[in-house]
């Protein structure tokens, strides 16, 4: 029997995605690589042009849902959403918004691990576009240079402000710190709640997802234990 276009497309997707369908991937939150998948022409439009376009498209979604866009409470929503997407919650897609990081000499000769714990972040699941809310714990051992503490928070926030999956967020933060601090001795632990798991789908209110990256010296059990001791309570 001849297959419909949709069936062919589904078959093709399954081959590309190791036998999973697009729906399987979404609800199981699998991801495909370290880099956020972006189109080569991602920045052809200016932020202003993107906001105008998103506002039109979001208005259409609301219209299709049957909402009355002439209502005072709703009429500003498409523009508000567009502004929020570009300037806030997805601003980390634009490399221009990457925090500028100054490094300082390690004057105190502090050569133990530095841990910045409980960095609160808000992200959005790229499969459902609903929030991921969590805490990141970041640690490094200086290879000669140190970085301002608040910059660790800024790096976490920059990568969180993208449509994300938690594994990629973890690895992107670790990778950035490795590059900036010129060391493999980096650890990143993320403990987060995914609203697509708690508010819909399986509707599990209590589960949380923990992901980690241990590089260089942090691969040794003694360092992992030391780090975990700092993270208690």
**Among candidates 145, 122, 140, 129, which has minimal Cα distance to 26?**
129
Assess whether 23 carries a catalytic annotation: no
**Among candidates 127, 200, 215, which has minimal Cα distance to 170?**
215
From the list 150-158, 173-181, 196-204, 220-228, the region that binds Zn ion by CB under 5 A is: 196-204
Assess whether 127 carries a catalytic annotation: yes
Helix, strand, coil fractions of the chain, as percent rounded to 5: 45, 20, 35
Residue 99: count of CB within 10 angstroms of its CB: 17
CA 221, distance to chain mean position in Å, is 28
* Of 52 and 126, CB closest to Zn ion: 126
* Of 196 and 227, CB closest to Zn ion: 196
Is 196 a residue that touches Zn ion (CB under 5 A)?
Answer: yes
Is 125 a residue that touches Zn ion (CB under 5 A)?
Answer: yes
CB of 90 to Zn ion, least distance (A): 15
Is 193 a residue that touches Zn ion (CB under 5 A)?
Answer: no
Q: Are 206 and 194 in contact (CB under 8 A)?
A: no
Assess whether 128 carries a catalytic annotation: yes
d(CA 103, CA 159): 20
Q: Please give the residues from 39 up to 58 whose contact with Zn ion meets the rule CB under 5 A.
A: none
51, 127, 137, 223: residue in contact with Zn ion (rule CB under 5 A): 127
Assess whether 126 carries a catalytic annotation: yes
Assess whether 157 carries a catalytic annotation: no
Q: Are 113 and 216 in contact (CB under 8 A)?
A: no
128, 161, 162, 193: residue in contact with Zn ion (rule CB under 5 A): 128
Residues forming the site for Zn ion (CB under 5 A): 125, 127-128, 196
Give the residue numbers annotated as catalytic, written as ranges. Answer: 125-128, 166, 194, 196
């Amino acid at each position: 029997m001849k297959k419909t276009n949709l069936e062919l497309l589904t078959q093709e997707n399954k081959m590309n995605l190791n036998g999973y369908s697009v729906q399987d991937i979404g609800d199981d939150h699998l991801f495909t690589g370290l880099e956020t998948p972006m189109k080569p022409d991602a920045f052809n439009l200016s932020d202003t042009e993107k906001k105008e376009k998103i506002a039109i498209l979001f208005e259409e979604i609301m219209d299709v849902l049957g909402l009355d866009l002439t209502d005072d409470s709703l009429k500003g929503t498409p523009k508000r959403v567009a502004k929020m997407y570009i300037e806030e919650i997805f601003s980390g897609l634009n490399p221009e918004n990457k925090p500028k990081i100054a490094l300082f000499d390690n004057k105190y000769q502090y050569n133990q691990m530095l841990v910045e714990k409980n960095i609160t972040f808000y992200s959005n699941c790229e499969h459902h576009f609903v929030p991921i809310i969590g805490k990141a714990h970041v640690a490094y051992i200086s290879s000669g240079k140190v970085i301002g503490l608040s910059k660790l928070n800024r790096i976490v926030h920059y990568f969180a402000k993208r449509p994300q999956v938690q594994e990629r967020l973890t690895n992107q933060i670790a990778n950035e710190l490795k590059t900036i601090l010129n060391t493999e001795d980096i650890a990143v632990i993320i403990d987060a709640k995914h609203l697509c798991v708690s508010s819909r789908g399986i509707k599990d209110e209590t589960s949380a997802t923990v992901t980690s990256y241990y590089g260089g010296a942090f691969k040794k059990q003694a360092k992992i234990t030391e780090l975990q001791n700092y993270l208690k309570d």
